Amino acid sequence: MGSLGPARWWEDCHGLDLSSTPDIVSGRQPRAEMRRFLVIAALFVSRCGAYDRTFIEGANGNLGEALQFLREYDNEASSMCTRVTEAQWLYVTNITDQNKKRMVDALSLQAKLDRVSWQKAIQFSWSSLPDPMARRQLNMLALKGRVALPQDKQEELTKIVAEMKEIFNRARVCPFSNSASSQCDLSLEPELTRVMANSRSYEEQLHAWKSWRDATGPKLRSRFINYVEIANEAARLNGFRDAGEQERAVYGVDDLMNQVSEVWSTLAPLYRQLHAYVRSRLRSHYAPPHRINPTAPIPAQLLGNMWAQNWKNILDLVLPYPGKRRADVTSEMLRQGYTPQRMIQISEEFFTSMGLKPMPVEFWHKSLLERPTNRHVACKASAWDFCNRRDYRIKQCTEVAMDDLLTTHHEMTHIQYYLHYSDLPYVFRDGANPAFHEALADAILLSVTTPKHMHRIGLLNNITDDYETDINFLLEMALDKVAYLPFAFIVDQWRWQVFSEGTRNMNTAWWELRSYHQGVIPPVSRSEDDFDPGSKYHIISDQPYIRYFISLVLQFQIHQALCTAAGHIGTLHTCDIYRSREAGRVLADIMSVGASRPWTEILRVATKGSATGLDARPMLEYFKPLSLWLRVQNRDEKMIGWVTSEQDSALYEQWSRGGSFRVDNCITTTILAVFLATCYSRYGFSH
């Protein structure tokens, strides 16, 4: 948000039938759930009452003028994009105050162009123009961004978000073993992230977890409340009910909220199996007094990540068959004398083997593939489109290691996407929806990560083709992907709820969602003076999050479509599309249309009609062997799922503010939970 034009570079971030399973998730239905039900019901009623969103559009129905405007916009916006992207590149590859100033100046010029362009675009009665491409471009221009705000308000919003980022980036905390000489200068990256990943001490992780929240939340809370107010004002000026509705509109489907909720419900049983298995392993590791209850949510600091969103860092605690560890290809890469240049060539060859495009000349001249020693650079890997149909680059401080080889493939997928949609008008030079770029890049990694692929490119001598190695592989993937599902789901559930219902009891609402969907609880008591969502950068920096959930699900849909095209036979997690021209054609078809067609249609074509929206089944299929294994492992567990007890929810619930709904609901669900738990332990439902 914030600008009309799509983002032109990608920071990385780097990116079965279970229905009979009688899992138990209990504890209170969060009030959020109840409220959402009421909101959906109200929406339904209002839609029956002929409610429809009033699009912002004017009276000019002259197609010639609309096309003329779009041509001019295309030229101006592309040149501006080139200018801004060059300034951004210069800054992140040489961090100096002077380069920062140049970048800020370029961005402010772009903001001006965006505002003027939006004002022109909404003069047209675009929804009735006879040219579908013009209609779509104007629609996209009119819906995006916060440009509808008066200039002073827009500046205020920009200032608040900048302040929040500044507070977040400057937050520092004291070390765990604080002696008089130690300095309180630990930041999130890298120190606290390392503690969360590597420490196996309950108290040390708790310290990092709590200190980070103490250093951020309370300072951010009031600013965030102001931000919500102005973001909503912008959305209303743009014809939306609130900023959440505006965020969802970018996907162009009526029922995004229902689609994501349904997909999450379908995947939740798999998540609960993983949760039960991991909880049981953590119980073995964390001895009393740090008791982890076998029927309760897990204390949130124990899962190897500051937000418990990705559990791959605790692989050592939960690896099913330690004697069958995944072969480390890093040593083989070193033995074979790999260099960053070679890693990029290997990635390029992956794509050309499928009939896709080689990297252009500029790419080889201008990319930054190794960490320079003479200046400060932002080393996070990213892929760049300079919006002039020539200049594409990767920035990656590449080390010779397997993870970095995966990253080069991921980044190059973004470049492939840029190259394939480069002939389209500027507005359409983007992913089919905000999740598509990441989904494609991660779908490619599902092939590249397989032992089969590592063997084919000469980095593994022989593939150990046995059940235990397979389960180890899938469990590692699940700690990365399945564990992430509920977190990726709730961030925007929470944010949309705040946008639509207000900022009262925000922290309680956050923990209701976290405990209900993710099965984690805070390790220490929380209150409304805390602002725990503020510990996550995307929340305070105004970055939509549902794209990560959508991308997580879509990548398996795309992987399956590519594997079907490649004629893959066997389980989905062993598929490698390398050298398949057919898979290459499907990929090229998806990428060449950019954002010019609805993503649902692109998906329908790619899946040969089997999907027109989000579909959980490919992800379930990928993890099916693991899911069966987990059920066997968990057969003696007291509970698959969790009950949030009174004691647990007292850690975050605002009793005085909750009202009677809370108490009644609490009694009912506790009775239900006890009943179900008794049935479960007595009659042993099969999982």
Binding site for ligand X8Z (CB under 6 A): 11-13, 15, 548
CA 299 vs CA 340, 410, 502, 511, 636: distances in Å: 40, 33, 28, 12, 22
Kindly state the smallest distance separating residue 609's Cβ from ligand X8Z, in Å.
Answer: 31
Torsion sign over Cα 529, 533, 537, 543: negative
What φ, ψ does residue 444 adopt, rounded to 5°?
-60, -40
Tokens, residue 503: 């900022």
Our answer to whether residue 349 is catalytic in this structure is no
Which residue among the candidates 285, 290, 455, 538 is catalytic per the annotation?
A: 538
Tell me which residue has its CB nearest to ligand X8Z.
13
Please state, in angstroms and rounded to a whole number, the distance separating the CA atoms of residues 395 and 505: 42
Strands (E), 549-687: 641-642
Name the residue nearer to ligand X8Z (CB basis): 542 or 648.
542
CB atoms closer than 10 angstroms to residue 374:
6
Q: Is 410 annotated as a binding residue?
A: yes
How many residues in total does the chain contain?
687
Residue at token pair 């495009």: 357
* Helix (H), strand (E) at residue 521: strand 520-521
Kindly state the smallest distance separating residue 411's Cβ from ligand X8Z, in Å.
Answer: 11
11 contact choice in Zn ion, ligand X8Z, none (CB below 5 to 8 Å, kind-dependent) = ligand X8Z
Q: Is 414 annotated as a binding residue?
A: yes
Kindly state the smallest distance separating residue 484's Cβ from Zn ion, in Å.
Answer: 15
Our answer to whether residue 538 is catalytic in this structure is yes
Name the residue nearer to ligand X8Z (CB basis): 15 or 145.
15
Which residue among the candidates 411, 476, 501, 512 is catalytic per the annotation?
A: 411
Q: How many distinct helices (H) and strands (E) make up the chain?
A: 28, 7
* Helix (H), strand (E) at residue 520: strand 520-521
Q: Is 227 annotated as a binding residue?
A: no
Q: Is 31 annotated as a binding residue?
A: no
Name the residue nearer to Zn ion (CB basis): 402 or 443.
443
Name the residue nearer to ligand X8Z (CB basis): 202 or 545.
545
Kindly state the smallest distance separating residue 548's Cβ from ligand X8Z, in Å.
Answer: 5
Kindly state the smallest distance separating residue 488's Cβ from ligand X8Z, in Å.
Answer: 7
441 contact choice in ligand X8Z, Zn ion, none (CB below 5 to 8 Å, kind-dependent) = Zn ion
Kindly state the smallest distance separating residue 146's Cβ from ligand X8Z, in Å.
Answer: 20
Kindly state the smallest distance separating residue 11's Cβ from ligand X8Z, in Å.
Answer: 5
Q: Which of 650, 529, 512, 651 is nearest to 213 (CA)?
A: 529
DSSP string, 81-132: HHHHHHHHHHHHTS--HHHHHHHHHHHHHHHHHHHHHHHHHTTB-GGG-S-H
Q: Is 251 annotated as a binding residue?
A: yes
Q: Taking the chain, what is the end-to-end CA distance rounded to the nearest angstrom?
A: 43
Q: What is the DSSP letter of 11?
A: E
Name the residue nearer to ligand X8Z (CB basis): 550 or 595.
550
Name the residue nearer to ligand X8Z (CB basis): 11 or 191.
11
Please state, in angstroms and rounded to a whole number, the distance separating the CA atoms of residues 96 and 105: 14
Tell me which residue has its CB nearest to Zn ion.
15
Pairing of strands 381-385, 9-12: antiparallel
Burial class (CB in 10 A: 0-12, 13-18, 19+), 659: exposed
Name the residue nearer to ligand X8Z (CB basis): 117 or 407.
407
Residues that bind Zn ion (CB under 5 A): 10, 12, 15, 441
Burial class (CB in 10 A: 0-12, 13-18, 19+), 684: exposed
Q: Which positions are catalytic?
A: 411, 538
List binding-site positions for chloride. 251, 547
> Which residue positions form the known binding site?
251, 410, 414, 438, 547
